[in-house]
């Protein structure tokens, strides 16, 4: 991995976000030529500049801009080798109540990234998606699904450019902004009630380090059009609340019911995708719908046997939950 990223010119859209910041921290260790951080969040860029101005000033560039603006993307991607496209609206409820804006950013913005990448002859583009893109029940998942479809189809538009487009799907990243672990932690520390949508709700959880490893390995493994998914443990929200109260202190529980667009459980892939999925001990790779010879098999991977949703998958134990949140 270090050899792969050494000397590369890298752009991260949404680089001031949670995943973007984790990517920056890891990529700097691999000695790339430069990491360009594109984000619409001015304060986020300012804070990152303060963080890196002494330790990595020659490696990091800070670009204020919106992926909805294709001209800004054209300038940002000029001379870039690898794009990690993490910019998106990611909160289910906010997208459910603001679907037009979710479409503008998650779908139209992704289309802009693809077009600018082709024009700039970028080597690889990796899109960070969500397990909510599998059988979506909400606007956020639907926009993520269509963004995946755009990325996969882009491999057929590239012509002589040679750009490789691929996707990776996360579950819930443990301490990402607005996720359940930091929410519960804040509620407990402030002495408030823990707000549980439904104690029987289940989710796939992935640690920070595994999430970043998935993104970085996806760029290395991609031939074009794949969706990469790390194998993730399932967690029961009621169990998570109990473990966190044992760690931080006991507070009342308040059952608030499912939020708009939420499902009781999540899925990693559809039945149709399963038919063209391969696996090894750590991850799944969904091959493209239209596959040529180089997609028929993957070294070290075998045809998938069974895929469980978060309701039916093996649940994390108390000790496993504790280790994950720590």
Every domain of the chain and the residues it spans: 2-172+207-232+274-308
Tell me the C-alpha distance between 178 and 181, whole Å.
9
**148-164 per-position pLDDT tens digit:** 999 999 999 888 888 99
**Does the annotation mark 90 as catalytic?**
no
324 phi, psi to nearest 5 deg: -70, -45
**293-316 per-position pLDDT tens digit:** 444 567 788 999 889 999 999 899
Q: State residue 159's pLDDT score.
A: 81
| pLDDT beyond 90 at 144 | yes
Taken in order 85, 86, 90, 94, the sign of the CA dihedral is negative
Q: State residue 290's pLDDT score.
A: 65
Active-site annotation holder among 90, 132, 210, 263: 132
- Average pLDDT over the chain, rounded to whole? 93
**The pTM is what?**
0.94
Q: State residue 57's pLDDT score.
A: 79
Burial 77-112 (b: 16+ CB within 10 A, else e): beebbbbbbbbbbbbbebbbeebeebbbbbbbbbbb
Answer whether 15's CB lies under 8 Å from 23's CB. Answer: yes
| pLDDT beyond 80 at 320 | yes
Report the topology of domain 2-172+207-232+274-308.
Rossmann fold (3.40.50)
Burial 49-72 (b: 16+ CB within 10 A, else e): eeebeeeeeebbbbbebbbeebeb
Tell me the C-alpha distance between 136 and 262, whole Å.
10
Say what percent of the chain tops pLDDT 90: 82
**7-47 per-position pLDDT tens digit:** 999 999 999 999 999 999 999 999 999 999 999 999 999 99
């Amino acid at each position: 991995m270090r050899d792969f990223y050494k000397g590369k010119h890298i752009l991260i859209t949404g680089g001031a976000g949670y995943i973007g910041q984790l990517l920056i921290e890891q990529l700097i260790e691999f000695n790339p030529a430069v990491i360009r951080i594109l984000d619409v969040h001015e304060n986020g860029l300012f804070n990152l500049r303060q963080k890196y101005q002494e330790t990595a000033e020659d490696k990091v560039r800070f670009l204020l801009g919106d992926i909805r603006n294709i001209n800004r993307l054209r300038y940002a991607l000029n001379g870039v080798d690898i794009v990690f496209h993490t910019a998106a609206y990611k909160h289910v409820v906010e997208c459910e109540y603001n679907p037009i804006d979710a479409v503008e950013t998650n779908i139209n913005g992704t289309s802009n990234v693809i077009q600018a990448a082709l024009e700039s002859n970028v080597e690889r583009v990796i899109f960070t998606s969500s397990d909510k893109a599998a059988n979506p029940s909400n606007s956020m998942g639907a926009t993520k699904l269509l963004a995946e479809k755009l990325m996969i189809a882009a491999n057929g538009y590239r012509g002589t450019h040679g750009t490789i487009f691929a996707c990776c799907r996360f579950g819930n990243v443990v301490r990402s902004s607005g996720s359940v672990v930091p929410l519960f932690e804040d509620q407990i520390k402030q002495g408030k009630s823990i707000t549980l949508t439904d104690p029987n709700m289940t989710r796939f959880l992935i640690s920070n380090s595994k999430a970043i490893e998935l993104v970085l390995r996806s760029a290395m493994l991609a031939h074009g059009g794949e969706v990469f998914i790390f194998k993730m443990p399932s967690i029961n929200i009621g169990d998570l609340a109990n473990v966190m109260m044992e760690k931080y202190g006991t507070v009342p529980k308040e059952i608030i019911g499912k939020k708009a667009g939420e499902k009781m459980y999540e899925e990693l892939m559809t039945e149709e995708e399963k038919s063209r999925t391969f696996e090894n001990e750590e991850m799944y790779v969904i091959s493209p719908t239209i596959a040529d010879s180089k997609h028929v098999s993957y070294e070290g991977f075998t045809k998938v046997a069974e895929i469980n949703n978060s309701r039916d998958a093996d649940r994390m134990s108390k000790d496993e939950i504790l280790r994950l949140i720590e």
